[in-house]
Structure 1
Amino acid sequence: MSPVFAHGRLRLYLLKLLEESPRHGYEVIRLLQDRFLGVYSPSPGTIYPRLARLEEEGLVTHEVVEGKKVFTITDKGRAELEARMDELADLEQEISESIRDIAREVKEDVRDTVRSLRDELTQMAREVRQQGTREDERRSKDDLRAAREEYRHAWREQKQAWQEHKQEFERQKRAWKEESQRWKQDWLRGAWRGTWGGHGSPDRDAELGRMLADFVEEIRGAAAAASVTEEALATAQDALYEAAGRIRAALR
């Protein structure tokens, strides 16, 4: 039993509740539970025996309504209630204070629960953010690692292509040089043997051969160092034809 109800006080309060209105036992239990905000809920084993004793003392009576005992205070019960009005006032004051204490405790419990829930949500949000940050960092590291690997792969391919291009250029350069030297030697041998028309001296023919060979080597070197387009090739072809015509005219 609640500490509010000292010896005999629950009996007095039951008379007070029945003086307000006739009630059956279960209704009395629910009313007490509501007035004490659900903190105090008397059991049927507490209420029904006391109602039965009040009825034995002639303070209450009952009638069966729809299968339920409905208790009503008697004149004798009202007389006892009036005789104990001062005690009842003290009891009402104690109950009000008790209810205020209960409400304050409930409010504090609710506040503590809300604070605890807020702290838990804050911690949960912090953990989610930290987890998200760690996940973002991991993804950033993975992306950076993938980008670095892609860059290294592209650099290796570019480097290999450049080396192959350089090797091809060196090969062509050597071939052009060998061909130029061979052409120059063939020219000199032909000039020395008098195979270039049988006119003039071998020295002048040799000199002309060296000039033409140097010209060819210079043009080949320029072509190797540049990108030869179709337009450039056509322009070079026209220039060579023109130069060849002028050289033939000069040698007649």
Structure 2
Amino acid sequence: MSPVFAHGRLRLYLLKLLEESPRHGYEVIRLLQDRFLGVYSPSPGTIYPRLARLEEEGLVTHEVVDGKKVFSVTPKGRAELEARMDELAELEQEISQSVRDIAREVKEDVRDTVRSLRDELTQMAREVRQTGHEEQRQARDDFRAARDDHRQAWQEQKQAWREQKQEFERQKRAWKEQTQRLKQDWLRGVWGVAGEGHGSRDHDAELGRMLAEFVEEIHGAAAASTVSEDALATAQDALYEAARRIRSALP
């Protein structure tokens, strides 16, 4: 799939969304997903860094509301939007055309499916009227067999989906276990090394222990409560901010 936004276009569209109303990062993601009928859904790794860069450029600012960063456009950001009104209008046309294309494709798929089913039923009814009693019964049997085949195929597809989901869960558990083992092996290796540079290694080990305890504490809290969309948005903001501050503190 080709990129939905050309270079620099997503940055401009984020300014436009924030100029319409102050929003937090997770809300921006949901707006884009809804705008493109679920076909395009940007990741937090796409949206949050761009919001941070816009803020560094002085085009947006934020305030913390209920634990979430709510971004809004600054006068400098509005000035850039006004200077790029023609480009923004062109972008809106491109997005509207993309959405219309998506809707048309979905509509055509549904229409073709309905037409095909109607044609099959019409043809079957014609054949039933033209045949005798035995042939009518055979036609009904063929219809039931085809229906059963479709039903069986659907059941097999559902089973395949279930197996894929189970495999995904198994891989996720294996990845988690491997990560835990690597973390424990790393901590044991750091604590077991003595001699020159031991103080620095102690600091590394202490940082690793702190991060491990933090992960366990947050994981336990999440498991003990229901994670709503607002809670998820707050967590994303907090984790992004914590990661940024830790990176800036490290040499």
TM-score scaled by length of structure 2: 0.47
Higher relative contact order (CA 8 A, sep 6+): 2
What's the TM-score, normalizing by structure 1? 0.47
Larger Rg belongs to: 1
